[in-house]
Amino acid sequence: MRVVLSVLLLIAVACLPFQAAHADTVAEGHALAKAADAQLRGYVDSQVSLTMELVGPSGQTASRALRVRSLETDSGEYTLMVFDTPRDVAGSALLSHNFREADDQQWLYLPAIRRVKQIGARDKSGPFMGSEFAFEDLVTPFYEKFSYRYEQDEACGELTCAIVERIPRDPHSGYTRQRVWIDREHHLIRQVTYYDRRETLLKTYTASDFEQHEGRHWRPATMRMENHQNRRQTRLLWQDFQFGLGLDSRDFTQNALLRAR
């Protein structure tokens, strides 16, 4: 009996520093993620043009052009995407209501038959418009949607990045975990690696050409997603950033989706 107790005690004592260290890495990871999230918020509303360049495994290419309007709300963010090319889907639009705490909702507008469809949650983990980005990679998720653990610091270019592991809380996410490189200077997300349900490395995301808009909003002008399993990649080029357009929530209703242009 005494032996068992001693052993238990020994284990408990041995675990103490580990427990504390664990709590530390969780807290630091959370703080870093929160700082990175804060960099993307406070913009009120925005409109930006997006060009997607898709590169297939044997080098074939395709491109898509769309416009993205966003609005910050008390509980999250609304986005409305309107497609311009390919021309057979011109006029299609996707409305998303993304929430910090609740389930996201999405509606798709099909102009040929003037139909609005509410689409399922897992559609956001599939390839978006045939690209290597899933919808959940494209619209920066709120930091509340993951749990975190700080791993280590590492040089990233001329900067120092903190590597944070994040695990999606959403059971419909297509990933088991992600590793995020957040720079120590501006707290911008420079790189993300994604691990699939079999725990193997699926994709690497890199953001570059950061520009500061309106003197405060840092945004990357180029994003790249490389899929290691199928050897395809997608480049996103963000242009014509506009902030403070005076959009309001009426511009993000199902009625607004019907008249999106």
Partner 1 sequence: MRTPALLLLALGYCTAAGALDLRGELGLDVRQFPHKGAQGQSQLHVALRGQADLWYSPNQGRDAFTFSPFIRADTEDSQRDLVDISELAWLHVNEHFELRTGIRQVFWGVTEGTRLVDIINQTDTADGPEGDRKLGQPMMNLSIGSHSHTLDLFLLLGHRQPTFPGADGRLRLPLVVDTDQATWESSRKQERIDLAARWQWTAFPFWLGISGFSGTAREPELAPVIDPAQLLYDNGQPVGFAPGYIPTLAPHYPLIQQLGVDLQVTQGDLLWKLEAIQRWGGRKDFHAANAGLEYTQVGLFGSRLDLGWLLEGLYDSRGREASTPFDRDLLLGWRLTFNDMASTELLSSVIVDLDSHERLFSLEARRRLADGWSIALELRQIAGTPAPQTAEAFVFTPDTRYALRPLARDSFTRLQLSWFF
Residues near partner 1, by CB under 8 A: 54, 56, 60, 62-63, 85-91, 97, 102-103, 105, 111, 113-123, 125-127, 129-130, 171-172, 174, 196-198, 230, 249-250, 252-255, 259, 261
Closer Cβ to partner 1, 30 or 64, answer by number: 64
- For partner 1, the closer CB: 19 or 249: 249
CA–CA dist 177, 142 (Å, integer): 15
CB of 242: closest distance to partner 1 in angstroms?
Answer: 12
For residue 149, the minimal CB distance to partner 1 (Å) is 26
Nearer to partner 1, 60 or 152 (CB): 60
**Which C-beta is closer to partner 1: that of 141 or that of 174?**
174
Shortest Cβ 100–partner 1 spacing (Å): 15
CB nearer to partner 1: give 28 or 53.
53
CB of 114 to partner 1, least distance (A): 5
